[in-house]
Amino acid sequence: MGEKTEKKYIIKTWGCQMNVHDSEKIAGVLSSLGYSATESEKQADLIIFNTCCVREHAELKVYGNLGRLKKLKEQKDDLIIAVCGCMTQQEEVARHIAKRYPFVDIIFGTDKIHKLAGFIANAKLTGGTIIDIEEDEEGSIIEGIPAGREEGVKAWVAVMHGCNNYCSYCIVPYVRGRERSRKKEHILEEIERLGQSGYKEVTLLGQNVNSYGKGSEDGVDFAGLLREVNKVEGIERVRFMTSHPKDLSDELIYAIRDCDKVCEHIHLPFQAGSNDILHKMNRKYTKEQYLGLTEKIRTEVPDISLTTDIIVGFPGESEEDFRHTLEVVERVRFDSAFTFLYSKRRGTPAERMEDHVPDPVKHERLKRLLELTERITAENNSALKDKTVEVLVEGVSKTHSGRLTGRTRTNKIVHFEGNDSLTGKLVNVRITDPQSWSLFGEVTNG
């Protein structure tokens, strides 16, 4: 029987958009090695878990899924299993995985994707688990890694890596390293290729895009980068995330206002409304500064959509502290909010803080917060009834074969009847049925 020539892989991804984009690059490397994707673990020659460590739940899912692979590995000795991402960037976690799950062949860090081909080639030669999680030289970013993007309408583009903020609850700076910005020309070249390949929308990624360009030789900041990306032919829309409130500049607000392709949407996490809690979080702004910033944004870009992240039950949070959070939500009226119960993260300053909030109290506060955010989201959406909005068509709905799905410039999901030949096109849709989490409408000629 002849040797199988085409090898297959599965990548399982947990975490943020940066992790999703890292998985695209992993897929690009594997494609260049002759691998093709499969959805069947039994058919896979290579299984990669790209992990997240921001929340304990994600870590537990990884461990559960790894344990499940033991039997498959016993049945298929030539199967290669790899674990990468933010979990493995913590040395004690990498060592734990190697000891607890010795059938894992490769453990590598967030900056080692360019070495994946070598890891795979050597996986069966070492007699043990390959571990490479050492940080590369400060400031280095490896360019030229191909990205295996699945869709032809939207694409993620990383503009920087790492974070310098050291929020007291967050492990990201410890696993992603210090901030490093990609050179402007490399970013623009990647986006130009995307435009030439038919992609219509790009989302610029960074742990804090507002810090882009700090310390760089060309002096281009994030506002300047947006103005350059706005000129790229073929690209119809530009988005970005995430913005830190402490250094969202006036120039960035003006760039959003002035650039026709830059969408009217900012994801601006405020995390907590109490100044005492913000100080303990090391967020470096106050409630009053945040509210003033949102007012300034709305003055320059009146139709902008603001979304946010909120942590409930941070150590020491009192009922009065929590009421400040509710007040911010009431005043800003976010279009949507990602809400999280605080959970301890190993190695962060918050882990060592006293006066942790009891779980029942956290859950009760989260319930009240969700009731408020969901009411405001529904009210904001209701205001769009009978309005006509521009929608970038992303494709056929996953739940209804006769419907198309797309997004407004303000990042709201819209469903409507139409032929899939409209995919990738900008169409005008009149909203007929606004619901809490999505909008329904019909294509118009106007």
Q: What is the CATH number for 48?
A: 3.40.50.2300
pLDDT > 90 fraction of the chain, expressed in percent and rounded: 54
pLDDT in tens, 47-76: 999 988 777 777 888 888 898 898 898 888
Residue 61 lies in a domain: yes
pLDDT in tens, 73-91: 888 888 999 999 888 888 8
Structure tokens at 184: 């402007």
CA 421 to chain centre: 29
Closest CA to 25 of 91, 153, 116: 116
Residue 149 lies in a domain: no
Beta-strand relationship, 403-408 and 388-396: antiparallel
Residue 65 lies in a domain: yes
Which residues, 6+ apart, have CB-to-CB distance to 256 below 8 Å?
Answer: 226, 262, 264, 266, 300, 301, 304
Residue 169 lies in a domain: yes
* Concatenated DSSP letters of 311-370: EES-TT--HHHHHHHHHHHHHH--SEEEEEE----TTSGGGG-S-PPPHHHHHHHHHHHH
pTM: predicted TM-score of the whole model, two decimal places? 0.82
**Does residue 393 sit in the same domain as residue 373?**
no
Report the CATH number at residue 394.
2.40.50.140
**Does residue 37 sit in the same domain as residue 78?**
yes
Domain count, the chain: 3
Residue 1 lies in a domain: no
**Does residue 120 sit in the same domain as residue 234?**
no
Residue-range definition of the domain harbouring residue 428 = 388-443
pLDDT in tens, 330-388: 999 999 999 999 988 888 999 999 999 999 999 999 999 999 999 999 999 999 999 99
**Does residue 294 sit in the same domain as residue 254?**
yes
d(CA 329, CA 310): 10
Report the CATH number at residue 276.
3.80.30.20
**Does residue 239 sit in the same domain as residue 372?**
yes
CA distance to 317, 401, 412, per residue, from 226 (Å): 38, 36, 22
pLDDT in tens, 14-36: 888 888 888 888 888 888 888 88
**Does residue 338 sit in the same domain as residue 317?**
yes
**Does residue 372 sit in the same domain as residue 404?**
no
**Does residue 68 sit in the same domain as residue 105?**
yes
